[in-house]
Each structure stands twice: as C-alpha cells, then as structure tokens.
C-alpha cells in the first residue's frame, strides 16, 4: 500500500505548528505532506517548502484543494470549529478517505460534558462524521483524545503566573485532570496515521494521557520544579460563567468558548478515564515533572 499523504488544516495554530514540524521529522514515512492555506495567509508558511512540506493554496470548502491527499488532520481553533462539516464534505469530494476532526481534548461522551458550550461544535462535527461514514464505507475518521495539554494547563490561560508564582484557577484543589505534553500530543498524532485499522472499522478513538492527578498535585509539582511556593486561590467557577455569558451576548465566540473552558478545567472536566492507547505507540510520554522541568526548570 502507498504511504499516506496528509494535508493539515490549521497548520499555523498552537497545535498546528508543532504538528507540522513533527511530520517534517518523519516525512520519509509519508507520501505527500501539505498544509492548506488561504491565499491571503500563505506567507505564514514561507519556511515549509524548504522542509519538504507542500503549501496548498486554496479554499477549505472546495474539493480541488484536497486532490491527491488521502488523510486530512484538522487542527483549527475555537472560532473555526463550526466550519468542519463543510470542510469534511469538501475533503470527501476531493478524495480524502481518513479525517481527523479538531478534538485533542477530553472525553466528550462522559456524563453530560457533550452539552457544554465548549464542546458544542466538536459534537456537531462528530455527528456529521458519523453520517458521512454511513454513506461512504471507505471513509474513516480518528478522534484523538489527550486530556489537557500539560504546557497549557499550567499557563496564564488558567491564571497561573509562572513568573509571579500566583495561581487563580477556577475549581477545587482535589479536582482531577488528565494531562499530556503538547510535544507528545503531536508525536501520537503523527504516529497514529500509520497505525493499522481493524477490519471494517470506520471510527476510532485514540486516548492518550501522560498522567492523571489532582490540581493540588499538579501545582505542587510546579512548585518543586521551580523551587518556589505558589500563592494559590481556587476561584468559584460561577464567576467565569458570568464572563462566558457576557461574551456570548457580545457575540465574541473566542472569548465565550475560552471562558467556558476556563470555568471547566478545575472542576474535573479534563479528567479522562482509560483504557489508554499509550502502549500502542513507540515512545513513553513525558511525566508532568519532566514537562515542567523542560519548560520551567532552571536552565
Ligand atoms: N487539550 C488542550 O489542553 C488543548 C489546548 C489547546 C487547544 N486544544 C485543541 O486543539 C485544537 C487546535 O487548537 P489551537 O489552540 O491550535 O487553535 P489556534 O491556535 O487558535 O489555531 C487555529 C488555526 O485554525 C486556523 N483557522 C482559523 N480560521 C479558519 C478557518 N475559517 N478555516 C480553517 N482554518 C482556520 C488558523 O489559521 P490562521 O492563523 O491563518 O487564522 C490557525 O492555523 C482545538 O481542537 C483545541 O480545542 C486543546
């Protein structure tokens, strides 16, 4: 069988950039590797052709953009997530047979999580994929679940100031969170493209988690690595909920979705249950301590 040819959507984003660089490292295992770029934004990718990555200039919603690629990995961000049904239809019409929707987070099928605003467009996309797979027996899709990125969990997004050593997350100290370093999320994703499928399976969910721990343990690990004590106060998630509603009324989707994520993470929504698929891959993920040492340890 020919090696997979992969097109990345959202290659300039927080996940997209390291993902494309991971493909660069392993490019001999793939046919073509490309990023899809809007004509107005093509300059963002100027360095990629030198690294052997094609920059395909075209519309995300036209079949022609996908010609010659069998696999699409979509890593678009919050505001663009709702466009995925159109992207999926165009990709299938262009010949794509394997699609990765932008997920890279927690398990949405657990409890009532799927009803939360933060996940709404991901759920709509999953339903669309299910319908398209029913109509196209050759079409497959992979959902990558990673928990919260370790790097992003301890960051200003969660009101953790790594220089002033203050933490103001929403939630409680004993809430659990499953974390994986972004560097490992992209490694898992790239390797997963090469993972064989079982029989006529059309949907697969791959779960990765480096560690599951409490917020208290996460912050204690950060303190140990940085050699400082954090001034930590857990805030009431209802305060973030009010800000989410304010953003919704203003029509600021990015802020609405971010406040929704912020209110949720410290309440256990980032906790993923196993079984995990880590063992099916060629490497061991970094522990939380190793990630913090790499990112925030004394140089
Ligand atoms: N588990 C976690 O802790 C965690 C943390 C962060 C993100 N994530 C997940 O990772 C995924 C990617 O998020 P991200 O933070 O990398 O997003 P991001 O940094 O906001 O990147 C967004 C990407 O989408 C592209 N884009 C914007 N509008 C688009 C459109 N209309 N059509 C196609 N692409 C468009 C952007 O291109 P331009 O720059 O050209 O606009 C950019 O490349 C999401 O599913 C997110 O939920 C998970």
Q: Which atom of ligand 1 is nearest to the CA of 122?
A: 45
pLDDT digits (tens, 9 = 90+) for 157-211: 899 999 999 999 999 999 999 999 999 999 999 999 999 998 899 999 999 999 9
Q: 221: CA distance to ligand 1 center in Å? A: 28
Rounded to whole angstroms, how far apart are CA atoms 169 and 278?
28
In this prediction, residues 16-31 reach a mean pLDDT of 97
Q: Could you tell me the pTM of the whole model?
A: 0.95
Quick one: pLDDT at residue 264? 82
| Strand positions, DSSP E, the chain | 6-9, 33-37, 54-57, 71-74, 98-100, 140-145, 148-149, 160-161, 166-167, 176-180, 203-207, 211-214, 231-232
Q: Which atom of ligand 1 is nearest to the CA of 149?
A: 3
Quick one: pLDDT at residue 164? 97
pLDDT digits (tens, 9 = 90+) for 116-153: 788 889 999 999 999 999 999 999 999 999 999 999 99
Asked if the model's pLDDT at residue 112 lies above 80, the reply is: no
41 CB within 6 A, ligand 1: yes
Quick one: pLDDT at residue 299? 63
pLDDT digits (tens, 9 = 90+) for 247-299: 999 999 888 888 888 888 888 888 999 999 999 999 999 999 999 999 998 76
Q: 80: CA distance to ligand 1 center in Å? A: 7
58 CB within 6 A, ligand 1: no
Fold adopted by 6-146+181-209+272-280:
Rossmann fold (3.40.50)
First to last CA, the chain: 46
Instruction: Please report, for the chain, the start and end positions of each structural domain, with discontinuous segments joined by +.
Output: 6-146+181-209+272-280
Tokens describing residue 204: 């697969």
Asked if the model's pLDDT at residue 1 lies above 80, the reply is: no
């Amino acid at each position: 069988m020919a090696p997979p040819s992969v097109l990345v959507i959202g290659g300039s984003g927080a996940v997209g950039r390291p993902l494309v660089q991971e493909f660069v490292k392993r490019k001999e295992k793939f046919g073509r590797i490309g990023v899809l770029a809007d004509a107005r934004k093509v300059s963002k990718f100027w360095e990629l052709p030198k690294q052997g990555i094609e920059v395909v200039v075209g519309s995300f919603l036209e079949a022609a953009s996908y010609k010659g690629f069998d696999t699409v990995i979509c890593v678009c961000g919050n505001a663009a997530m709702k466009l995925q049904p159109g992207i999926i239809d165009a990709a299938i019409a262009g010949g794509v047979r394997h699609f990765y929707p932008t997920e890279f987070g927690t398990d949405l099928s657990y409890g009532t999580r799927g009803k939360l605003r933060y996940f709404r467009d991901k759920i709509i996309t999953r339903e669309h994929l299910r319908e398209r797979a029913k109509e196209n027996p050759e079409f497959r899709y992979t959902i990558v679940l990673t928990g919260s990125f370790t790097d992003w969990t301890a960051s200003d997004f969660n009101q953790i100031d790594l220089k002033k050593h203050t933490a103001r997350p929403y939630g409680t100290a004993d809430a659990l969170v499953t974390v994986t370093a972004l560097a490992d999320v992209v490694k898992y994703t790239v390797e997963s493209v090469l993972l064989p499928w079982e029989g006529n399976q059309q949907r697969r969910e791959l779960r990765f988690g480096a560690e599951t721990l409490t917020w208290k343990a996460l912050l204690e690990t950060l303190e140990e690595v940085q050699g400082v004590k954090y001034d930590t106060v857990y805030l009431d998630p209802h305060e973030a909920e009010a800000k989410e509603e304010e953003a919704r009324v203003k029509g600021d989707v990015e802020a609405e979705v971010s406040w929704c994520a912020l209110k949720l993470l410290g309440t256990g929504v980032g906790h993923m249950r196993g079984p995990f698929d880590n063992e099916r891959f060629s490497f061991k993920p970094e522990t939380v301590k190793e990630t913090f040492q790499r990112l925030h340890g004394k140089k």
